[in-house]
Structure 1
Amino acid sequence: MDTICNIERRKPKAPELILDLLMANGAPLSSFALCRAGVIMDINEATVRVALNRLCEQGKIGQPARGVYAISVAPRPLFRDVDTWRSKERSMTAWNGDWVAVHDTLVQRSDKTAWRRHCLALALRGFAEFEPGLQLRPDNLEGGIAALRARLAELGLSPQATLFRLTGLDEARQARVKGLWKVDALHRQYTAMAAALDAHAEVLGQEDTTGALRESLLLGREAIGLLVRDPLLPPELMAPQARQTLMAAAIRYQDEARRHWRNWISGIDLPR
Structure 2
Amino acid sequence: MDKICNVPVAVPSAPDLILDLLVADGGTLSAQSLCRAGALMGIGESTLRVGLTRLAAEGKIARGERGSYSLDRRGAALARAVDDWRHKQAQAVAWRGDWLAVHDAGVSRTDKTAWRHHALALSLRGFAALRPGLQIRPDNLAGGLEAERAQLAALGLAPSALVFRLADLDDAAQAAARKLWNVRTLEADYRRLQAGLERSEKRLRTQKLETATRESLLLGRAVIGHLIRDPLLPAELMSPKPRAALLAATRRYQDKALVLWRKWLAQP
TM-score, normalized by the shorter chain, greater than 0.5: yes
- Give 5+ residue unaligned stretches, structure 2: none
Secondary structure of 1:29's counterpart equals strand
Q: Give the whole-Å Cα distance in 2 for the aligned partners of 1:166 and 1:72.
A: 35
> Match of 2:40?
40
8 Å Cα contact 2:99-2:136 kept in structure 1: yes
Percent identity, please.
Answer: 53
> Match of 1:110?
110
Secondary structure of 1:97's counterpart equals coil
**C-alpha displacement at 1:266, in angstroms?**
2.0
8 Å Cα contact 2:194-2:246 kept in structure 1: yes
Secondary structure of 1:93's counterpart equals coil
Q: Give the whole-Å Cα distance in 2 for the aligned partners of 1:163 and 1:73.
A: 26
Secondary structure of 2:116's counterpart equals helix
> Match of 2:248?
248
Q: Give the whole-Å Cα distance in 2 for the aligned partners of 1:249 and 1:139.
A: 27
Q: Relative to 1, partners in 2 of residues 1:103 and 1:264: Cα closer, same or farther, differing over 3 Å?
A: same
Query: Aligned pair count?
Result: 268
> Match of 1:223?
223
> Match of 1:51?
51
**C-alpha displacement at 1:161, in angstroms?**
0.7
- The letter for the 2-side match of 1:211 is T
> Match of 1:166?
166
> Match of 1:235?
235
Supply the RMSD in Å over aligned alpha carbons: 1.2
Q: Give the whole-Å Cα distance in 2 for the aligned partners of 1:4 and 1:160.
A: 41
TM-score by length of 2: 0.97
- The letter for the 2-side match of 1:183 is V
In the alignment, is residue 101 of structure 1 matched against residue 107 of structure 2? no
**C-alpha displacement at 1:208, in angstroms?**
4.3
**C-alpha displacement at 1:75, in angstroms?**
3.0
**C-alpha displacement at 1:73, in angstroms?**
5.0
Map residues 145-224 of structure 1 onto 2, 5 A cutoff: 145-224=145-224
- Give 5+ residue unaligned stretches, structure 1: none
**C-alpha displacement at 1:6, in angstroms?**
1.3
Q: Give the whole-Å Cα distance in 1 for the aligned partners of 2:57 and 2:100.
A: 37
> Match of 2:28?
28
> Match of 1:12?
12
Cα distance per residue 1:144-201 (max 9 Å; x no partner): 1111111111111111111111111111111111111111111111100001101111
8 Å Cα contact 1:60-1:76 kept in structure 2: yes
Q: Give the whole-Å Cα distance in 2 for the aligned partners of 1:203 and 1:187.
A: 25
- The letter for the 2-side match of 1:167 is A
8 Å Cα contact 1:86-1:251 kept in structure 2: yes
Higher deviation after alignment, 203-212 or 27-36: 203-212
> Match of 1:77?
77
Q: Give the whole-Å Cα distance in 1 for the aligned partners of 2:61 and 2:204.
A: 29
